[in-house]
Structure 1
Amino acid sequence: MEGTSGGEKAAPLRPGIRDTVVRAAGGAVAALEQLAGGLGTAVVALGVLLWLALAAVTAPLGLGLLMAPKALRALHSLAGRERDRLGRWGPEVIGPGPAPTRLRLALVDPTTHRELRWLVRHATLGFLLGMVGVLLPLMAVRDALFPAYWRLMPQDTSSTSLGFGPAQTWAGALAVALLGLGWIAIIVGLTPGMARLQAAPGRRLLSAGPDVDLSLRVAELTATRAAALDAHAIELRRIERSLHDGTQNRLVTVTVLLGAARRMAARDPAGADEILERAQGAAEQALAELRSVARGILPPVLADRGLEGALTGLAASCAVPCRIDVDAPARCAASVEATAYFVVAEALTNIAKHSGAEEATVTVRSHGGRLRLTVTDDGRGGADEDGGSGLTGIRGRVAALDGTLSLTSPRGGPTTLEVELPCGS
């Protein structure tokens, strides 16, 4: 009777489970980085808060009146740094205009009031969450690796990172290691929520208030309109170059070859047939280039097969294995579907060229009049919008339709690109 051989390999994780594990680990690492970054600004926030408190206490003596302008400048500078930090880990936080630093004006300025409220919360709750985010991985490493070094520890040293119970047997050392695995589970399960909780006051209080929303919206629409016009001009130049440098030259060649064949027809029929074959080849190449230009303007596959069929075609031609998951029962506006198609096409091109990924996933959902795209890969991460990888072009296309784009790409991966578009644009 056959038995299980000792050298038999364990069954590999199924792709779905592997994706879940990789996604959870990447999310935990990104959350720890966010919490550590938030701890840095929270430490500074605590100092600024004490500075402002000292200025308020010494105001009756006149010293606080001299300290207040510099303290307010520090507050506004720190708030600007926090907006930049939050923008690196999610949607951009657009702040209002410059806040006053003169005490009399600051006392009635709504932006300063909102920044002060954020300062108190970030210096307390944000500081606490940041400390926990920094200590958790240290405790996890310390306890999980305890069996490797417990015999080297002094006799009365506590075995756990919580500071109780010296381990004197292997069973106790393994129990400490189990505690380390518990810390890892806490990191994976709770740190993403902790990072969101730490960032929530900044996203709510440091963004523009309702009194300036209208002017900011006008400025935002003006900027996106300018970006759309620039993108349109760039696209027209691309089409013009394609027609001028490719198709037009092919058609000129066809014209020249047809003229030569007509002149040779009477005296050298065989030579004329050869020239006609060359002319036919040039005409076929010109036709192929025209089709390529037409597909670049608006892929006909969108009209024929819809967004799901078009994205399935993109996945089939991608160099990296790609899984498509589309749940969008209702058709969106043609401009929205075209933008979604080009976003996915550019994202898959970037994945194939730069990520070193083994697998990519494209998820499309339609809900509440919004079309949400998510493109994820298990590559090396570290995607940089300023690095010339096409992300700037994607952002421009999305902004032209009043959509939103967010990119999460920590070093080591995974990379997640999320785009949300209004279905009726």
Structure 2
Amino acid sequence: MVRERLRQAKAWLDEQLRPEGEAADLQALLLVSLRATGYGVVGAGFAFLALYTIPLLLLSLVLAFLGIGRFLIRPMIRWVRTIAGLERGRLRRLGHEVKNPYLGPYVDVPRTFKEIKADPSVRRDLVWLVVHGTWGLVLGALLLQMPFTTIHDITYPLWWYFAPEGEQRILNGLVEAETATAALLGCATGVAVFALWILFGAKILELQTKPGLAFLGPDPEMDLSEKVARLTATRAAALDAHAVELRRIERALHDGAQNRIVGVNVLIGAARREIQRDPARADQILERAQDTVEGALAELRAVVRSILPPVLEDRGLAGALSALASDCAVPCTLEVAVEGRCPASVEATAYFVVAESLTNVAKHSRASSASVEVRRKGNTLSVAVSDDGRGGADAAGGSGLAGIARRVEALDGTVAVRSPVGGPTEIRVELPCGS
């Protein structure tokens, strides 16, 4: 972000020939440098913490190796993670995307040397700690010193005569300036330092952030293996969800519509036998057969709607969810902010999540009200269903949450359930829906 702003400012400076245009560009460059200095000073503060952490960490590791300070490993590594987390926050505010490396088996803080050796996130944090505690501190101090040196040297000819002996120096104390002629040199050095600060302040900040970008994200090899494991898990979840859905459809057809059709066949056979002997009896049997056929058709429609509700195709996601909310036994409010259509599989899953969640609300929550909120932000569809019921929802308790999780994971989505005992309950689902 800083580099882009500097590039834009330079391009603007080249295009503008009028004095007021040059002044505006200089102001833009100045703002970029001031911003770089501010973030550089913050980085220097984190580097200062890192520098003082290094000897404490070494002492803790030595004591732990001797067997008298093993209890120090966990709090020291936790402190290192805290400093690294502060730096990640600074990098994100600068516009860099730094992912959290403490995932999967590396969530817990190591307690032993063996766990430290097995945890790549700790090793990368320690490398960053040493590099940033030295290199980052120097660059941050340089960024802070440059504007002060500029002001000191440019104004030096005005007050050099009154400066005590031994302090008549310019260029951050590197050059003696004890005469009026030498004092005038301060203006030149001040302008030079100012020019360097304006042109290279953002570059210095970029150099300061490079160790963090290199070491504070997930390890590339581990990140790849984690993605493979996640894809394997979601593929297995998709196959399981598909198998469960096929079994459900098979049971619905076998136990419902098929039995009714067999009954119709029996009734028609009985009606054929009675048509000559007792036409009135045959008519009654045919009426029962007609009722049975209508029941079979209703069950077939229900099965079809459970696979892909036609209302989604006819009215879209907003219309389908509106029908669900209006049919809910608990008063339910609905808010849908989705522009355009999402993929059919995503809409079907979102519909299933809301339908299953509202069913749970009506059956188990004892709630007096519920709300559904569906929003699309970029390539993510977020679904949130909440109620003011008694809470305590548990996926292992047969509440339908396990089915929701399977359907969502099949699309590589995420499910978060917050349901403390006493309520309220919130189910939040995020589904990737492409561009």
TM-score bin, normalised by smaller chain: 0.5 to 0.7
1:384 aligns with one of 378, 387, 394: 394
Is residue 61 of structure 2 the alignment partner of residue 56 of structure 1?
A: yes
What is the Cα-based RMSD across aligned positions, in Å? 3.8
RCO comparison, higher one (Cα < 8 Å, 6+): 1
Task: Read off the aligned partner of 1:397 and give its amino acid letter.
Answer: R
Q: What are the superposed Cα offsets for residues 188-228 of structure 1, whole Å, 9 maximum, x if unpaired? A: xxxxxxxxxxxxxxxxx999544411100110110111111
Q: What's the offset of the Cα at 1:113?
A: 3.6
Q: What's the offset of the Cα at 1:410?
A: 2.5
Residues 290 and 371 from structure 1, CA distance in 2 versus in 1: closer, same or farther, beyond 3 angstroms?
A: same
Q: What's the offset of the Cα at 1:268?
A: 1.1
* Mapped partners of 2:326, 2:216: distance in 1: 44
TM-score by structure 2 length? 0.56
Correspondence list, 1:38-53, <5 A: none
Residues 410 and 108 from structure 1, CA distance in 2 versus in 1: closer, same or farther, beyond 3 angstroms?
A: closer
2:426 aligns with one of 410, 416, 422: 416
Residues 103 and 268 from structure 1, CA distance in 2 versus in 1: closer, same or farther, beyond 3 angstroms?
A: closer
Task: Read off the aligned partner of 1:56 and give its amino acid letter.
Answer: L
Partner of 1:339: 349
User: Retained in 2: the 8 A contact 1:76–1:115?
Assistant: no
1:289 aligns with one of 281, 299, 324: 299
* Mapped partners of 1:388, 1:76: distance in 2: 40
Q: What's the offset of the Cα at 1:355?
A: 1.5
* Mapped partners of 1:345, 1:352: distance in 2: 11
Correspondence list, 1:221-300, <5 A: 221-300=231-310
1:328 aligns with one of 309, 325, 338: 338
* Mapped partners of 2:247, 2:118: distance in 1: 51
Q: What's the offset of the Cα at 1:57?
A: 4.9
1:358 aligns with one of 368, 373, 388: 368
Residues 348 and 102 from structure 1, CA distance in 2 versus in 1: closer, same or farther, beyond 3 angstroms?
A: closer
Between the two proteins, what is the percent identity of the paired residues?
59
User: Retained in 1: the 8 A contact 2:393–2:425?
Assistant: yes
* Mapped partners of 2:313, 2:323: distance in 1: 13
* Mapped partners of 1:207, 1:395: distance in 2: 28
Give secondary structure in 2 for the equivalent of 1:266: helix
Give secondary structure in 1 for the equivalent of 2:104: coil
Q: What are the superposed Cα offsets for residues 3-24 of structure 1, whole Å, 9 maximum, x if unpaired? A: xxxxxxxxxxxxxxxxxxxxxx
* Mapped partners of 2:57, 2:415: distance in 1: 37
* Mapped partners of 1:114, 1:383: distance in 2: 39
User: Retained in 2: the 8 A contact 1:69–1:103?
Assistant: no
User: Retained in 1: the 8 A contact 2:60–2:73?
Assistant: no
User: Retained in 2: the 8 A contact 1:111–1:209?
Assistant: yes
- Count of equivalent residues: 276
User: Retained in 2: the 8 A contact 1:378–1:414?
Assistant: yes
User: Retained in 2: the 8 A contact 1:96–1:209?
Assistant: no
Q: What are the superposed Cα offsets for residues 247-294 of structure 1, whole Å, 9 maximum, x if unpaired? A: 111111111111111121112111110111111111111111111111
Residues 291 and 111 from structure 1, CA distance in 2 versus in 1: closer, same or farther, beyond 3 angstroms?
A: same
* Mapped partners of 1:328, 1:317: distance in 2: 21
Give secondary structure in 2 for the equivalent of 1:326: strand
Partner of 1:403: 413
* Mapped partners of 1:406, 1:95: distance in 2: 20
Residues 324 and 98 from structure 1, CA distance in 2 versus in 1: closer, same or farther, beyond 3 angstroms?
A: closer
- Please list every run of 5 or more consecutive structure 2 residues that lacks an aligned counterpart in the other structure: 1-55, 81-101, 128-214
Q: What's the offset of the Cα at 1:67?
A: 5.2
Partner of 2:324: 314
Give secondary structure in 1 for the equivalent of 2:105: coil
Is residue 287 of structure 2 the alignment partner of residue 304 of structure 1?
A: no
* Mapped partners of 1:253, 1:105: distance in 2: 66
Q: What are the superposed Cα offsets for residues 338-397 of structure 1, whole Å, 9 maximum, x if unpaired? A: 000000011111111222211111011112121111111111222223322111111111
Give secondary structure in 1 for the equivalent of 2:277: coil
* Mapped partners of 1:214, 1:280: distance in 2: 60
User: Retained in 2: the 8 A contact 1:95–1:206?
Assistant: no
Task: Read off the aligned partner of 2:61 and give its amino acid letter.
Answer: A
Task: Read off the aligned partner of 1:256 and give its amino acid letter.
Answer: V
Give secondary structure in 2 for the equivalent of 1:212: helix
* Mapped partners of 1:206, 1:352: distance in 2: 46
* Mapped partners of 1:229, 1:397: distance in 2: 10
Partner of 1:94: 104
Q: What's the offset of the Cα at 1:308?
A: 0.8
* Mapped partners of 1:278, 1:70: distance in 2: 79
User: Retained in 2: the 8 A contact 1:408–1:415?
Assistant: yes
User: Retained in 1: the 8 A contact 2:61–2:73?
Assistant: no
